[in-house]
Amino acid sequence: MKLSIILQLEDLGQKEVGDWIFVAYTGTSLSSPNAAGAVACLISALKENSIEYSPTSIKFALFKTANLPKNGKQFEFGHGIIQIDAAFDYCKKNTTIPTFLTKSKGILFVQNDENQSDMERSVNLSDFIHFTATEDEDVAKKWTLELSSKMEECFKLSKIDKITNLFTVKIDTNKLESGSLKYAEIMVMDPLIGSLLNIPVFVIYLLKITETKNYSFQRESYLNYEDPYHLLFHPVFKNTFKKCEIKITALEKMVNTKVCVQYLVLDENMMDSAKTQSTQKILTFTPKNQIHTYFIPIKKPVIHDFCIYQNNLFSSTRPKFKLEISFKDDFQNGSNTVESEEEDIVKNAL
């Protein structure tokens, strides 16, 4: 008998392990009650053992004891999978759980000047941590900063100023690809407790498009589910009505996978401003159908974010794709469409 477990409404694939079939779906219908139930059990145990607690201490204990699986991505797991027994032990053994409250904020850098070689910003730690007592501020003087390793080559962090709580973040844009979106985390470290807080940092290096610059170019990328490939571009044309044509070619002959593509039109705050209809398309690549073409209508000189990733959560492969991007006049001012090599063959035959 086969047993099924739904991990997370869009089908992202399935995986058989022995007599179990794991099927992945997006959504929070299961994860939210699971987390709420785990916290309820933890509070019950803390009360039973006369252990003092607060919303801050419970959140901190869950964060410190969560298990991030090997090769797991934080965009997929967050801090990790709840380990409720370990969280209880942590609350029981640790009396140094900080009383400060963390704030849900991040740092966003947007580079739109190709002649600027670096970006620098002064950051106040108080923007991310709300200190509730003078003793918290005294403890903070011992804190240090660390950066997630994959971005060390282009990030530089200063030390925290012990009086003002200010520190500086500097980014070398010479080591970034134009059009890219990069993510890193600044970890606030305590000498006794370890990691206290992870501050997310997003870096956008815009690719400017004009009739004479970057009007046609190519990119190559390996695709998987957890790490989408982004291309952020800012088209500035005399004739506003253009279309961006993206020819997507699988570079491996035996490829057999589904790829998700979509785009967003962003406002000055880097928020989605086109909320009319979904631009998401699922493209199927097989040995007989290795080429698809995706179109983005360009109606305004604003920032566009094109995203592509492999649509199978359980795939262990990272197929390589070539993206050929070009801009053309859009005389019909049409909506987004997708064409495949097979469709072209059928059209020619008719």
Model pTM score: 0.75
| Cβ-proximal residues to 221 (8 Å cutoff; 6+ apart), any chain | 229, 308, 320, 321, 323
Among 76-85, 134-143, 159-168, whose mean pLDDT is lowest? Answer: 134-143
Please report which confidence band the pLDDT of residue 194 belongs to, taking 50, 70 and 90 as the band edges: confident
Identical topology for domains 101-205 and 209-349:
no
Mean pLDDT value across the chain: 80
Give, in words, the CATH class of 101-205: mainly beta
**How many CA atoms within 13 Å lie on the side-chain side of 112?**
12
Strand partners, 204: 110, 181
Please report which confidence band the pLDDT of residue 150 belongs to, taking 50, 70 and 90 as the band edges: low
Task: Give the distance from CA 52 to its chain's centroid.
Answer: 36
Thinking of the domain 209-349, which architecture would CATH place it in? Sandwich (2.60)
Q: Report how far residue 142's alpha carbon sits from residue 163's, in angstroms, rounded to the nearest whole number.
A: 12
- Per-residue model confidence (pLDDT) at position 149: 64
Other beta carbons within 10 angstroms of residue 269's beta carbon come to 7
* pLDDT higher than threshold 70 for residue 296: yes
Burial of 275 (0-12, 13-18, 19+ CB in 10 A): exposed
pLDDT tens digits, residue range 261-294?
Answer: 999 998 776 676 655 457 889 999 999 999 999 9
The domain spans of the chain are 3-93, 101-205, 209-349
Tokens of 82: 């709840």
